[in-house]
Every structure is written in structure tokens, then in C-alpha cells.
């Protein structure tokens, strides 16, 4: 079936859901909008913004920023996004590589969907804090998580280490090279610690830690648009986990997407 021929990690874009909270918190901490121990009131599960209601799966009162990542509060994320503001948040979204090609040497890559911040209403900014109204590819998401894993630098992904001839001699080699610094190393370290807590007791990704390893990551459950109604479908979701092992010395970054 030709429908199955495409390379979905670069050709399919989807809403990243709560996995996006780590990039929001990275931006907020880098800009000194919040600190890890600051607390946000989560409105006991329901938060009205203009004519919209933002919900949490589990009702919370006060959560620290670190707990916002661990327990994945949409309400707290929306409040932090409103504090960061359209322009600053948009700048970090771009710096993490969303809305542009990764440049990996594979055909059919798409840019994803990131509308310009000047078109964002307050509700658009709020929901972007927890990964709605934005489209990403699996490779973009994986590469952005690698920024956090490697200390805050964006390194474009490669698929080959070298090209060799018939005799096994190297014709051309490729080395990963940082393209830009997105956040400071200290900020990345703090976010990594929060992501580690996600896989520990009480976190949303406790089952994601392989036995014998420390793991860090972020879960996400994103609603899917119904192409007919133009609204979110009530029975269709994208489930995600993205993270790295070992948590304290990352060597492998992995993103799992289940449509």
C-alpha cells in the first residue's frame, strides 16, 4: 500500500501534547520567569480563560514548577505560558527546532506547524504551553529532547557516520556539530532532573524506566483533530513518551509515538 511507504518520523506532523511542557519550562526558567521551587495554583482541575475551560486529568491545588513537569498539569503550563508571553515563547520554540526542517538527509521531511506569534490569542498561547495548536514531527521532538540531554545545544541529526568505498576506505565522514546554544547548561541540568522525576514513583512515566537504568522523560496524550468537524475527536488520541537514558549521563534519546 503506497500509504505505508512514507517515513512517518519526518513526513507526519502531530500535536505533541504534554511532552511540550519541558520546552515551555526551559524557556520560563532560562528567562527567569520562574524557578524550580516556585509554586503555581492549579485551580483544583478547572481553569477558565475567556470563554474556554482548561482541564487537568487530576485536580491539583498548588504545585511547584518541578511538580508541574512530574504530574503534568495543563493548567499550570497555561499560566506559565501566559507569563512567558507570545514573542519569547515563540523564539524558544524556534530555537528548539520546531517549525523548520531538521535538515536530515532523508526525502519528504516536513516543517511541522508553528503559527507566527503575532497571530496568537491568549488562549492560543495558553494551550501551546501544553502542546496544543502546534504540529511537530517525531524527529523534531527527538532532536529537541536531545538539546536537554546534551546540555542545551541544538545539534542537527545525522543518519550516517561515514561514506566508504568498495575497499572500505572512508570517502567522507560526518561529525555531529552544535548549531546553536538554546539554553544554559545549568537550565538543562534542572530540566533533566525534573524529567527524571517523571519516571520515579508518582510520576506519569514510571513504567518507562528499564530495569537497571535511570531514565528521564515526559509523557504526552494529545487529542486528534476530526477532519470533518474541525474539532478535537472524542475518541482519538496520540500517546507519546520521549526521553533519555541514563538520566544522569544521557547516551540514548528515544521518542515513541502511538497514534
Beta bridge partners of 164: 170
Distance CA 140, CA 134 (A): 12
- Residue 18 falls in the annotated catalytic set: yes
Distance CA 59, CA 77 (A): 14
Q: Taking the mean position of all CA atoms in its chain, how far away is CA 128?
A: 11
Choose, from 13, 18, 73, 197, the residue flagged as catalytic: 18
The CA angle 145-149-155, to the nearest 5 degrees, is 70
Say how many C-beta atoms besides its own lie within 10 A of residue 51's C-beta: 6
Burial of 169 (0-12, 13-18, 19+ CB in 10 A): exposed
Which are the catalytic amino acids? 18
Amino acid at each position: 500500500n503506497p500509504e505505508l511507504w512514507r517515513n512517518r518520523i519526518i513526513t507526519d506532523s502531530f500535536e505533541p501534547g504534554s511532552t511540550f511542557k519541558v520546552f515551555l519550562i526551559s524557556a520560563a526558567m532560562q528567562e527567569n520567569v520562574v524557578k524550580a521551587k516556585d509554586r503555581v495554583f492549579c485551580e483544583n482541575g478547572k481553569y477558565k480563560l475567556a470563554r474556554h475551560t482548561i482541564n487537568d486529568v487530576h485536580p491539583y491545588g498548588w504545585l511547584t514548577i518541578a511538580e508541574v513537569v512530574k504530574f503534568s498539569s495543563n493548567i499550570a503550563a497555561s499560566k506559565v505560558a501566559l507569563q512567558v508571553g507570545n514573542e519569547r515563547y515563540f523564539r524558544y520554540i524556534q530555537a528548539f527546532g520546531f517549525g523548520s526542517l531538521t535538515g536530515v538527509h532523508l526525502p519528504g521531511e516536513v516543517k511541522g506547524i508553528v503559527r507566527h506569534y503575532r497571530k496568537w490569542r491568549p488562549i492560543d498561547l495558553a494551550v501551546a504551553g501544553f502542546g496544543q495548536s502546534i504540529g511537530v514531527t517525531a524527529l523534531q521532538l527527538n532532536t529537541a529532547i536531545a538539546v536537554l540531554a546534551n546540555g542545551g545545544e541544538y545539534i542537527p541529526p545525522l543518519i550516517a557516520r561515514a561514506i566508504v568505498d568498495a575497499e572500505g576506505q572512508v570517502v567522507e565522514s560526518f561529525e555531529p556539530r552544535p548549531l546553536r546554544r538554546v539554553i544554559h547548561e545549568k537550565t538543562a541540568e534542572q530540566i533533566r532532573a525534573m524529567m527524571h522525576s517523571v519516571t520515579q514513583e508518582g510520576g506519569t512515566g514510571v513504567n518507562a524506566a528499564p530495569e537497571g537504568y535511570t531514565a528521564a522523560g515526559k509523557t504526552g496524550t494529545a487529542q486528534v483533530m476530526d477532519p470533518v468537524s474541525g474539532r478535537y475527536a472524542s475518541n482519538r488520541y496520540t500517546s507519546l513518551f520521549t526521553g533519555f537514558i541514563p538520566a544522569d549521563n544521557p547516551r540514548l534519546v528515544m521518542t515513541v509515538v502511538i497514534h
